[in-house]
Chains A and B, each alone.
Chain A
Amino acid sequence: MIRPTSNDDKTRTGISVKRITAWRRRPWAGYAVVLAALAAIAGLYAGFSPKTDRAEAAGTADAQADLANGRQLFNQNCASCHGLNAEGTKDAKGKPIAPSLLGVGAASVDFQVSTGRMPAMNPGAQMPRKRPIPVFDTEIKTDYSEPEKREAAEKQKAQAEKNIHDLSGYIAQLGGGPSIPTADQVDPTKGDVALGGKLFRTNCAQCHNFTGQGGALTGGKYAPELSKSDVTPTQMYEAMLTGPQAMPVFNDSTLTPKDKQAVIAYLVQTREEPNAGGNGLGRIGPVSEGLVGWLVGVGLMVAAAMWITAKKPKKLKKLKNS
């Protein structure tokens, strides 16, 4: 039997090519690769468990809004779509481009701008939550160790908060509408969590899922996740109050401020609650459980079966042969 022999088949890493090849040729190598890949996917998947960072309480300034600043910000960032007088615009065929902002209220402006949905960049099925543009960026990082950097960042954040406040004040002054809730109104520790759970499951979970993981709507729209810590209690309140985009409105007389606070308490406590049973698997219910059952459960059992029934251990035979 002629066999090509070469003593020089080591790679630069010092691993024998022969050995790699031998491993690759093992009957189980294919399965091992597939299993490893599946395990990696499962790991990634499981990684999407909710983060339970503390929600930062939104500071709501009670100070009088600087309407001039608000107007200027409106003209710079909003007027191109919503019109110079916030009356909304339509395209040549009369199809609305942007709605009128008269009467939407400060709560709506605060919600849209602080979640980064407005100013919108390119209209799609739905405006996604994104990092607000710099002048409105209240999510800016401030925990620098250098005092100068921190100070600058804090200053920028305060300015962004003031900007949103001014802009909201300006729009509210144009046509009235619901105002921004106070910090006390949205304090999740003061809500009745049991009532909140009931209200959430009856009125919110059908779109946002029972733990606020979000869900699909028609036409590519979706109910956003509420389980991330960047969704502040103020934003939750404003969303219920104003019904942004496809979301229905829950005004203060159908769901009273106390009811809203209860819903907020439920949401915040749920997302801060650790998963009693281990990894939450995304908290989306049986779909991810089935996936894990098949990939991890059946996967590990098949791996065990292959090991138990595998051919003789190599070492033993070598020793025997020698």
Chain B
Amino acid sequence: MSDNNDTAGSHEPREDGGSRRVVGTPSSVGERTLLAKDDDEGYPAPAGAGEELDEKSAKNAERVVAAFFLLAFAASVAFIAYYIGWSGRNGGMHGVTRTRESNLWLGGTMALAMLALAVGVTIWVRRLMTSKPIIQERHEMASSAETRAAFEADVLAGGEDSGITKRPLLRRTLLLAAAPLGLAPLVLLRDLGPLPEKRLRHTFWGEAVKKAKAEGKKGVRLVVDGTNAPLKVSDFNSPGGMITVLPEGIEETHEAANEIAKAVTILINVPAEQFKPVKGRENWHVNGVVAYSKICTHVGCPAALYEQTTHHILCPCHQSTFDATDGAKVVFGPAHRPLPQLPLGVEDGYLIATDDFPEPIGPSFWERG
């Protein structure tokens, strides 16, 4: 903006000098301000106080403004006084009630100080400032044709002088050198994360089942998320029951949070007479006790909202709805695929998983197939 000749167009207001009327200034026929009989209305000047101040009202306004400034002062002092004098009592602010108190006091005084200052300044501008509106010229943004032509000539001449236009070898090798140099930083970002590989295809259920089978067992036990108590079949015998379960031992894994985020499962007790097992999965449930991945196949929120009357599993994020009686097939919402089902079994009276989910859990991805 350094080349901007703003002041060139700046004038003292010329409204009052009737002799030098410029386009747009009010004509002497101002009396014809019709219909809005209230003659205070319709003065088109922007805000700000008028040209002449009535000294008495100005004095009043000054007092009002000063009062607001004093209020702001008092509020700021109260802010500091509260902070130093009260907020630190009994060893400082701890816990909800003291936080609430200090938040209200500090915030309230702060807001009061700011708002009082703001109101004071606004009244000051509106009632006491005697600046008059002025007119400035606007300018065409574009440079003149000569300037453009001169610049163009300079640029071309410079290119000529540097030799870049007439020495193609120079130009091409420079471009060649620049290309890999620009790519180098991208290479540096490679270690941002591991490659996807098969990570998204398995959960800890598979690993745990494999380990259990190596120990001669049939599968891994289901434990309640939160209490880590293993579940017996007889424990989970109430029709309409639902609980979130994890494979036993998941808490001790490396990257436990990541494993839980994939392995988390809901266990539902569907009344046996209403349960319709999917073909080929007839033995995946235990008398209507069925387990589905809790991770929604839409974008991965925990689909956890189970209505025992309709047997719908609903994801509270985007309302994908799955039918628990029918292999968790989608009945409504944005999800496309059913929730993956976990094959269940019984061992020593405990509910176990006999294998991993048969398909990748969670949202779809390109390599999923």
Partner-B contacts on A (CB < 8 A): 1, 3, 22, 25, 27, 195, 198-199, 202-203, 206-207, 215, 217-219, 221, 243, 245-251, 253-256, 259, 273-278, 304, 307-320
B126 interfacial contact with A, CB 8 Å: yes
Please name the residue on chain B nearest to A217 by beta carbon.
B307
A308: which of B53, B122, B312 is its contact (CB, 8 Å)?
B122
B68 interfacial contact with A, CB 8 Å: no
How close is A31's CB to chain B, nearest CB, in angstroms? Answer: 15
Given contact pairs A206-B305, A251-B238, A311-B46, enumerate 9 new A-B contacts (beta carbons under 8 Å): A203-B304, A206-B302, A247-B308, A253-B235, A253-B236, A275-B100, A310-B126, A315-B57, A317-B43
How close is A74's CB to chain B, nearest CB, in angstroms? Answer: 24
* A254:B308 contact, CB within 8 angstroms: no
Q: Chain B residues with Cβ under 8 A from A202's Cβ?
A: 225-226, 244, 304
Please name the residue on chain A nearest to B312 by beta carbon.
A218
Please name the residue on chain A nearest to B268 by beta carbon.
A248
How close is A162's CB to chain B, nearest CB, in angstroms? Answer: 29
A249: which of B54, B232, B239 is its contact (CB, 8 Å)?
B239
Residues from 244 to 296 in B contacting A, C-beta threshold 8 Å: 244, 268-269
A248: which of B229, B235, B308 is its contact (CB, 8 Å)?
B308
* Cα distance, A248 to B38, chains bound together (Å): 69
* B307:A246 contact, CB within 8 angstroms: yes
B309: which of A245, A254, A256, A274 is its contact (CB, 8 Å)?
A245
Please name the residue on chain A nearest to B50 by beta carbon.
A320
Total B residues in contact with A, Cβ cutoff 8 Å:
63
Whether A195 touches B227, Cβ cut-off 8 Å, given contacts A276-B100, A278-B104, A308-B125, is yes
Whether A311 touches B47, Cβ cut-off 8 Å, given contacts A250-B241, A251-B241, A316-B127, is yes
Q: Chain A residues with Cβ under 8 A from B125's Cβ?
A: 308
Q: Chain B residues with Cβ under 8 A from A275's Cβ?
A: 100
Whether A243 touches B241, Cβ cut-off 8 Å, given contacts A206-B316, A309-B46, A313-B126, is yes
Q: What would be 9 A-B contacts, judged by CB atoms less than 8 Å apart?
A: A1-B34, A206-B302, A206-B316, A221-B307, A246-B309, A255-B227, A273-B96, A316-B54, A319-B57
Whether A274 touches B47, Cβ cut-off 8 Å, given contacts A246-B307, A248-B241, A253-B232, is no
Residue interface bits B44-59, CB-to-A below 8 A is 1, else 0: 0111111011101100
* A276:B99 contact, CB within 8 angstroms: yes
How close is B234's CB to chain A, nearest CB, in angstroms? Answer: 7
How close is B330's CB to chain A, nearest CB, in angstroms? Answer: 13
* B241:A218 contact, CB within 8 angstroms: no
Whether A251 touches B47, Cβ cut-off 8 Å, given contacts A207-B305, A276-B96, is no
* B47:A308 contact, CB within 8 angstroms: yes
* A215:B235 contact, CB within 8 angstroms: no
Residue interface bits B22-41, CB-to-A below 8 A is 1, else 0: 00000000000010111011
How close is B352's CB to chain A, nearest CB, in angstroms? Answer: 16
Whether A307 touches B235, Cβ cut-off 8 Å, given contacts A246-B307, A248-B308, is no
B300 interfacial contact with A, CB 8 Å: no
Q: Chain A residues with Cβ under 8 A from B307's Cβ?
A: 217-218, 221, 246, 248
